Amino acid sequence: MSDKKVAFITGGNRGLGLETAKQLGQLGIFPVIGSRNLEQGRVAVALLRAEGIEADAIQFDVVDKEHYRAAYEYFEQRFGKLDILINNAGVSLEGEPADAPARKDPTSSLTEDALRGTMEANFFGVVLSTQVLLPLIRKSPAGRIVNLSSNLGSLTWHSDPTSRIYPVKMFAYDTSKAALNSFTIHLAHELRNTPIKVNSVHPGWVHTQLGGKVAPTTPEEGAKTSVRLATLPADGPTGGYFHQDQHLPW
């Protein structure tokens, strides 16, 4: 096991995260699922094992700092390293993206609870848990950090009236993803002279519990960008914002 790559997928017990774990497992990588509900994580592991993929699950809530340290101890004691971190867990407290154009003045009426809750899960939790796990990623010969962002985090597109996302304004969610993109840029710069690569991903508008029922992209298709960036070669990009092979504007 020590020679096998190990990946940690937060929010990996369902939807896009579970599909990402499956695709990584199919490549011979050992996926560890982080799930707020450990039993749901174990159910996901059973699904993977039924397809011939060895996996494990740990309890992990991205806003619970005690889980950060517990995750560190798990990976340190069992593997001595962490090769891939996929920051997949996230929330949307303003409804589904498909509903956004129909809402009126969501920015001016957004509650403090919605704003703080979204930023806590989608930004602060990701940053702080990554900081805790980073020493283990440094022990990998080819560490990869993949931050699940969204095209709704693009300030360029949000300010362009001709952009297709221009009318889709969810202030808390959009801002959390823009902030996450900033984290990607800054961490990639700090680690630029190491083997570690850090990138942001727009998986597409994916048909999941978060993405909503009318989303056109399947989890199978949506996971492909994360898997590609998690398995980049040594000459691959870092500090980028991608959907499939497309560079997205910040």
Domain boundary assignment for the chain: 6-247
The pLDDT score that the predictor gives to residue 216 is: 46
The pLDDT score that the predictor gives to residue 211 is: 45
Q: 162 and 154 in contact (C-beta within 8 Å)? A: no
The pLDDT score that the predictor gives to residue 97 is: 56
Q: Which of the following is catalytic: 173, 197, 224, 241? A: 173
Q: In whole angstroms, what is the distance from residue 223 CA to residue 202 CA?
A: 10
Provide the total of helices (H) and of strands (E) in the chain, helices listed first. 9, 8
Query: Is 104 an annotated catalytic residue?
Result: no
Tokens of 239: 């500090």
Q: 129 and 136 in contact (C-beta within 8 Å)? A: no
**Contacting residues for 205 by C-beta, under 8 A, at least 6 apart:** 97, 211, 215, 216, 217
**Contacting residues for 228 by C-beta, under 8 A, at least 6 apart:** 242, 244
The pLDDT score that the predictor gives to residue 98 is: 58
Q: In whole angstroms, what is the distance from residue 65 CA to residue 123 CA?
A: 14
Task: Please give the angle made by the CA atoms of 101, 123 and 112, to the nearest 5 degrees.
Answer: 60
Query: Is 241 an annotated catalytic residue?
Result: no
The pLDDT score that the predictor gives to residue 220 is: 78
Q: In whole angstroms, what is the distance from residue 81 CA to residue 88 CA?
A: 19
6-247 CATH choice from 3.40.50.720, 3.30.1780.10, 3.40.1360.10, 3.40.50.300: 3.40.50.720
Closest CA to 34 of 66, 10, 6: 10
Instruction: Give the pLDDT of the chain (250 residues) as one tens digit per residue.
Output: 557 999 999 999 988 999 999 999 999 999 999 999 999 999 999 999 999 999 999 999 999 999 999 999 999 999 999 999 999 999 989 866 555 555 544 799 899 999 999 999 999 999 999 999 999 999 999 999 999 999 999 999 999 999 999 998 999 999 999 999 999 999 999 999 999 999 999 987 644 545 445 544 676 788 999 999 999 999 999 999 999 989 999 9
Q: Which of the following is catalytic: 5, 22, 81, 177? A: 177
